[in-house]
Structure 1
Amino acid sequence: MEVFLLLLVVFSLSFAVYPIQSTTGSHTDVHIVYLGHNNGLSPSLTSRSHLQLLSRVFTKPDEARQAILYSYSCGFSGFAALLNSTQACTLSETEGVISVFRSRTLELHTTRSWDFMGLNLHMQMEQSSQMHLKFGDDVIVGVLDTGVWPESESFRDDPHYGPIPSSWRGTCVKGDSFDPATACNRKLIGARYYLAGIESELGPLNTSDGAEYRSPRDRVGHGTHTASTAVGSVVPNASYFGLGRGAARGGAPMARLAVYKVCWYKDLTGRCSDADILAAFDDALCDGVHVVSASLGSSPPLMPLFATSTEIGAFHAMQRGVVTVFSAGNDGPDASMVQNVSPWGLTVAASTIDRRFPTVITLGNNASIVGESFLVKDMKKRLVESSSVFTDGTCAFEQLINRTAASGKIVLCFATMGMVSSEGAALAVYAGNGDGVIFADTISRKASQDNFWPTVHVDLHQGTQILYYIRASRKATVHISPSKTVVGKTPAPTVAHFSSRGPSSITPNILKPDVTAPGVNILAAWPPKSSPTVLPLDKRSTNWNFDSGTSMSCPHVSGIAALIKSVHPTWSPAAVKSALMTTAYMYDDTSDVMLAGGTLKAADAFDVGAGHVDPLRALDPGLVYDAGARDHVLFLCSLGYTAVQIRQMVLPGSSLDTSCPGGGAPHAADLNYPAIVLPDLSAPVTVKRTVTNVGANRGAVYRSAVVSPQGTRAEVWPPELAFSPYHGDKASYYVSVTPAKPSRGRFDFGEIVWSDGFHRVRTPLVVRVTNLPDDGVRAAATGDHGSHGATDYLQAAA
């Protein structure tokens, strides 16, 4: 029985180490020999010294070469090898060896993202109350996406489910290959689809031969994937062609699912109409959903908040107590590309988890490099550089020399030559009859990604070494081993390079994104009739698929929101958002964003919002920043809407004041938001915030700690908030921010933290000091407030 680990190293600019499983004889185990730094030696010399050291415990040099698995030879020095206990002991006593230790066997879980965030399946099942597995019961999550594959195990009926919640007023509609009698159950309780808008704009859908379904059935796969990520039932032994094997489940596995198909398969992607989206929002609110998950949006320039279906739908959902969770968009890493920026929606960025898929590349000279891929078969092929297949070296179809130029070969392609994508390179090599691609990209963009044609991802350093080998060889060859799964040996989280960043381009006073959650290589349910890549050339079939994007991080937060609503059913959407934001954690990440000039910057609030979500802490946040109807009335006043217009947008209430205060429009920063952003600070400003004590201790005392953004002085008054059963559970405080030195145009970041000794309530404080003349027109200070968003556009451009 094959039971031991092989250790592999993933070479990157930081050269991190990842263990993976493999085979060997029962008398040996994988050991790591750690030697410290590499004394400034080149990787090749360091690797040679490793072989020399290892040869001391073998009788023949070839045995040492066969035993060594990987040489760690850049950022630090060491190696992994198959050793018996005597050999390991001998090496541990050798001069220069710091330590020798046996590699561990790792426990893998398919939806690793939930374990990574602390919702451990085994912990849940062992608890007598099965607390987390019960969370989400009677909460209905509406997913606006590409539909659902109802036969997936993630949406099966379960005897543990009670009756459908009495608040549910929706339905399952009949359509092509979708019979409500067999498709819907106590898990999948609702399914609708919307076609009028998309067909009016793009013409009739192609439904021939299963190209699309005029029903809630999912053709693209995206909707099935997001729905199972949010609320999928527990499914053991799930995997993607054997990779990432484990138990799959959503964040709220007992929650009910209602599907609203608003996006359709068109031009190899999902297309959505505003008209259809707004119809779905309308139905969802009437159907009785508690959470709306919408992994869709539109790239900047953004329309005013009430000129887009998503923001309108979310505004009315907020008024009905329904939480709306959006994806931030995939237009990163440039600034101000974030989408779905309304304060009543919850916007989610994407980050990584601690799981990788290392893939061993062995060159013909026996040098080994570890890339990342989803390969399941062994490959031994000729290896060529792109210039021998494409006229200018750009791996693009139009540059292909001829249709057999890559026949029987694996082609090394660089993203930096012609700025091609890995998908484009794979298609181009396929067109040239090639067998696969080694794709080199920058360290911040390199990631394992499944293409329909075999593709191994490496960084530019690794790609350059491979290129040198090819040019030094008369007939270069390569052996690519099947990919492995490694968990827990990767620094995480880091914000994904594609994740759209803030500040908001129309409401810069509102921090966006709000939080970040796992969104890279997330494994979830998939329609078997759709290939993993949805390309017609891809003939593979799978029930599970990896996908990346803020579309994947969005349903993670939707699932957590369902957990919170099941525990705190009366909490408003603002309170739920606050719980997620104030308990999120910031992380030191200097590997995500490459700036001009080749420097790296650490993640900040415009990358990750308030930070990475922490589901367990969000269930008990201590304090929340709530926002009622009047709060949003004042925010609408700040956008320039009149009392008459606001009265038409806000649900009528007997005592609700929909008037705008005299003496000028209120400031958007005064909205009771769980973050404070001052994008144009030229003079001292005071901002008010009100918190509500939702902790078990009704007499709690919270004390503040302030970190002022660079170039400012921030003070909080009062510095202490005392609550009691007699004086209420609300308290207000004021934040005064003063420029400490002249500046113009740079955002700096601080925080306000309230703590009672148990809870830690963190509020991001983001400031841009603009107290130097800019020799131009300061558009941010002027503008027609009646333009409903034009002022915010000018502020963002200032």
Structure 2
Amino acid sequence: MAMSSFLLVVDITVILMLCISHCHGAVEDDRKVYIAYLGAAPEREDIASSQHSAMLQSLSTLSSSVENYLIKSYKRSFNGFAAKLTNEEAKKLASFKEVVSVFPSKVYHLQTTRSWDFLGFNQTVKRNATAESNVIVGVLDTGIWPESDSFSDEGFGPRPKKWKGACKGGQNFTCNNKLIGTRAYHSDSARDMEGHGTHTASTAAGNNVVNASFYGLAEGIARGGVPSARIAAYKVCSGILCLSEDILAGFDDAIADGVDLISVSLGLEIPVDLYQDPLAIGAFHAAEKGVLVLQSAGNSGTTGFQSVSSVAAWILSVAASTTDHLFVDKVVLGNGWKTLTGFSVNSFSLNRTKVPLVYGLQVTSSCDEAHARACYSYCLNKTLVKNKIVLCDVMNGVNAAYDAGALGLITKYQVENLSFVVPLSAITLSSEDYDLVISYHNSTKEPKAEILRSETIKDKFAPIVASFFSRGPNAFVPDILKARIGLITSPDISASGVDILAAYSPAASPSTTTTDPRRVKYNIISGTSMSCPHVAGVAAYVKTFHPHWSPSAIKSALMTTAFPMDAPRNQGAEFAYGSGHINPVKAIDPGLV
């Protein structure tokens, strides 16, 4: 789950809940999409298809052919279907003896040059190149950008013989011997228009790409954990929608296609019953077939303990932690009166040294005080804002400031030590420093400021679990014990998930501001979405040395060899980082598993 902005999660949730009925084509009789899970797949797919049709016909309340209500059939790796039903029909279907569970479709949310080196996984580590080229990493996400250098097949041999998948990416989409397959659900194309799926896939198994950077920031070699491995991309999210029925379809296909492991940077804000969670259901059948599933554990850490949503014992749940570099900015007030340090990924340099400084409260004629301070989109007067630096009380003010023609933005951060890509020269400060800027503004006749371009500094305290990351304990399944004996922990392990540079879709804005016209090949993002593919890459690396190990054995190797983390520096200790920080090199020789 990628972090884009602290408040953006709330905005997206509202949009999704408003949209979902229209996206499913809801009808006047309150039908909505339900999923019926029937357990293991029968020996023949046609048997499952007949069973699904017969069950729907037996409801006797459908006004037309069952094909008009059936959304998807799952029959390759497990048995089930998605259909448009009323609440009463769903209850009746749940009473059938063949049915394990029936549940409504839900909306799931989307949850590098230096990170691998920080993990002790440099380019000189021992590798088994032949075995690595036979590993297939499946990624369930927003699709993929096939033309990225991270997915070039130069130097790759034929696809592994075990591959049973297909390239169904839509028009103008071509697979190769690196990106060996793709499928799309709820969409005509598997092309990534958001950037998220491209970023996660390249982090797990992207090629080595020299001189990658974000406008010169974080410059170096972008690479995945297993650069010689193959990638299969399953587009289960269309735009910002990641629906239960599409996630299950992705699992059904990925397992049958022959992937070796599945990376899923998606999740709910709160856990649900395992029989009603498509991720838990899909991952269970994946484990049954020898396929390890890794899931990002969530970005709801600001809500406190018991916020982790990935709770199934057969899923490797991943926390996000920092690397040993931070992107920082500086703002200079007045004529060098004060210089303050804050956070953002700011690639801009102001053409003039000092720029007039205004406060959202004073550049509006249509908003009350609270909305004006926050720089709501309809509050800022473009004439009063243009070519100035604006003070806004919340980070989301960046969108309004940019659209109003501001040269820069100063705000206070809601998430500590986290840098967001911004569409203009901007900086987030601590509350104390932000109040100091407000005081300077209010006490100066002609307040001015200069925001400097971002720079990278060393973080000697890393790794620290990111403040946004969801914590345990596992409240939903409290009898699940993790690696630390005697503690009911969740997640399983921690990995780099803050300020990660990886491949990106040139169709998407690199910032959360949709009107930002910039387009990049590599972007810097933070979230448990970024930590999950790091662990997926390491899991694939372990599999190259132990191709016959079960998912449980690989999971054990990763957890028992993890680096200890500093409990006093991490709020929640084991509830935050599980067994510790991943140790890729040690994991291939763990001793007892």
TM-score normalised by the chain length of structure 1: 0.56
- CA shift in 2, pair 1:485/1:398, >3 Å: closer
Residues 336 and 503 in structure 1, CA contact (< 8 A), matched pair in contact too: yes
- CA shift in 2, pair 1:174/1:606, >3 Å: closer
Residues 408 and 451 in structure 2, CA contact (< 8 A), matched pair in contact too: no
Task: Pick from 410, 421, 436 the counterpart of residue 465 of structure 1.
Answer: 436
Counterpart of 2:151 in structure 1: which amino acid? F
Residues 135 and 252 in structure 1, CA contact (< 8 A), matched pair in contact too: no
- CA shift in 2, pair 1:228/1:449, >3 Å: same
Offset of 1:410 from its aligned partner? 0.9
1:216 maps onto 2:190 in alignment = yes
Counterpart of 2:237 in structure 1: which amino acid? C
1:240-288 per-residue CA deviation (whole Å, 9 max, x = no partner) reads 01100000000111111001111011xxxx2111111111111111111
1:544 maps onto 2:544 in alignment = no
Offset of 1:407 from its aligned partner? 2.7
Distance in 1, Cα, partners of 2:114 & 2:131:
19
Give the match for residue 372 of structure 1.
343
Task: Pick from 408, 417, 428 the counterpart of residue 400 of structure 2.
Answer: 428
Offset of 1:227 from its aligned partner? 0.1
Offset of 1:132 from its aligned partner? 7.0
1:244 maps onto 2:218 in alignment = yes
Give the match for residue 573 of structure 1.
551
Residues 494 and 589 in structure 1, CA contact (< 8 A), matched pair in contact too: no
Give the match for residue 140 of structure 2.
144
User: What secondary structure sits across from 1:566 in the alignment?
Assistant: helix
Offset of 1:378 from its aligned partner? 2.1
Residues 383 and 476 in structure 1, CA contact (< 8 A), matched pair in contact too: yes
Aligned residues: 464
Residues 177 and 217 in structure 1, CA contact (< 8 A), matched pair in contact too: no
Distance in 1, Cα, partners of 2:169 & 2:500:
31
- CA shift in 2, pair 1:462/1:311, >3 Å: same
Give the match for residue 233 of structure 1.
207
- CA shift in 2, pair 1:522/1:261, >3 Å: same
Give the match for residue 615 of structure 1.
584
Give the match for residue 263 of structure 1.
237
Give the match for residue 101 of structure 1.
none
1:207-238 per-residue CA deviation (whole Å, 9 max, x = no partner) reads xxxxxx72111111110000000000100000
Offset of 1:466 from its aligned partner? 2.0
Offset of 1:401 from its aligned partner? 5.6
Identity %: 45
1:118 maps onto 2:92 in alignment = no
- CA shift in 2, pair 1:389/1:410, >3 Å: same
Give the match for residue 409 of structure 2.
437
Task: Pick from 583, 589, 606 the counterpart of residue 561 of structure 2.
Answer: 583
Distance in 2, Cα, partners of 1:140 & 1:604:
34
Task: Pick from 357, 380, 394 the counterpart of residue 383 of structure 1.
Answer: 357
Task: Pick from 160, 165, 177 the counterpart of residue 160 of structure 2.
Answer: 165
Offset of 1:622 from its aligned partner? 0.9
Give the match for residue 192 of structure 1.
183
Deviates more, 1:397-406 or 1:457-466: 397-406
Distance in 2, Cα, partners of 1:163 & 1:481:
49
Distance in 2, Cα, partners of 1:552 & 1:480:
28
Offset of 1:529 from its aligned partner? 2.0
Give the match for residue 313 of structure 2.
343
Residues 215 and 347 in structure 2, CA contact (< 8 A), matched pair in contact too: yes
Counterpart of 1:434 in structure 2: which amino acid? A
Unaligned ranges ≥5, structure 2: 1-111, 481-488
Map residues 243-322 of structure 1 onto 2, 5 A cutoff: 243-265=217-239, 270-300=240-270, 302-322=271-291
Residues 121 and 585 in structure 2, CA contact (< 8 A), matched pair in contact too: yes
User: What secondary structure sits across from 2:385 in the alignment?
Assistant: coil
Residues 412 and 428 in structure 2, CA contact (< 8 A), matched pair in contact too: yes
Counterpart of 1:323 in structure 2: which amino acid? L
1:627-664 per-residue CA deviation (whole Å, 9 max, x = no partner) reads xxxxxxxxxxxxxxxxxxxxxxxxxxxxxxxxxxxxxx
Distance in 2, Cα, partners of 1:281 & 1:407:
49
Give the match for residue 52 of structure 2.
none
Higher relative contact order (CA 8 A, sep 6+): 2
Counterpart of 1:218 in structure 2: which amino acid? D
Residues 234 and 250 in structure 2, CA contact (< 8 A), matched pair in contact too: yes
- CA shift in 2, pair 1:174/1:338, >3 Å: closer
Residues 349 and 607 in structure 1, CA contact (< 8 A), matched pair in contact too: yes
Q: Rg: which structure is higher?
A: 1
Give the match for residue 555 of structure 1.
533
Counterpart of 2:361 in structure 1: which amino acid? S
Distance in 1, Cα, partners of 2:404 & 2:176:
48
User: What secondary structure sits across from 2:171 in the alignment?
Assistant: coil
Unaligned ranges ≥5, structure 1: 1-109, 125-129, 196-212, 415-419, 593-601, 625-798
1:145-173 per-residue CA deviation (whole Å, 9 max, x = no partner) reads 011100000000131x3331111111111
Residues 135 and 254 in structure 1, CA contact (< 8 A), matched pair in contact too: no
1:6-32 per-residue CA deviation (whole Å, 9 max, x = no partner) reads xxxxxxxxxxxxxxxxxxxxxxxxxxx
Give the match for residue 530 of structure 1.
508
Distance in 2, Cα, partners of 1:157 & 1:447:
34
1:434-457 per-residue CA deviation (whole Å, 9 max, x = no partner) reads 222112136x62421113343212
Counterpart of 1:117 in structure 2: which amino acid? L
Offset of 1:131 from its aligned partner? 2.4
Task: Pick from 406, 422, 443 the counterpart of residue 385 of structure 2.
Answer: 406
Distance in 1, Cα, partners of 2:553 & 2:264:
20
1:176-209 per-residue CA deviation (whole Å, 9 max, x = no partner) reads 331xxxx2111111111112xxxxxxxxxxxxxx
- Compute the RMSD of aligned alpha carbons: 2.0
Offset of 1:398 from its aligned partner? 6.1
Residues 563 and 582 in structure 2, CA contact (< 8 A), matched pair in contact too: yes
Map residues 499-518 of structure 1 onto 2, 5 A cutoff: 499-510=469-480, 511-518=489-496
- CA shift in 2, pair 1:431/1:575, >3 Å: same
Offset of 1:388 from its aligned partner? 2.0
Residues 262 and 293 in structure 2, CA contact (< 8 A), matched pair in contact too: yes
Residues 154 and 234 in structure 1, CA contact (< 8 A), matched pair in contact too: yes
Distance in 2, Cα, partners of 1:132 & 1:520:
29
- CA shift in 2, pair 1:489/1:608, >3 Å: closer
Distance in 1, Cα, partners of 2:567 & 2:591:
27
Residues 427 and 453 in structure 1, CA contact (< 8 A), matched pair in contact too: no
1:601-626 per-residue CA deviation (whole Å, 9 max, x = no partner) reads x44111111111111111111112xx
Map residues 321-332 of structure 1 onto 2, 5 A cutoff: 321-332=290-301
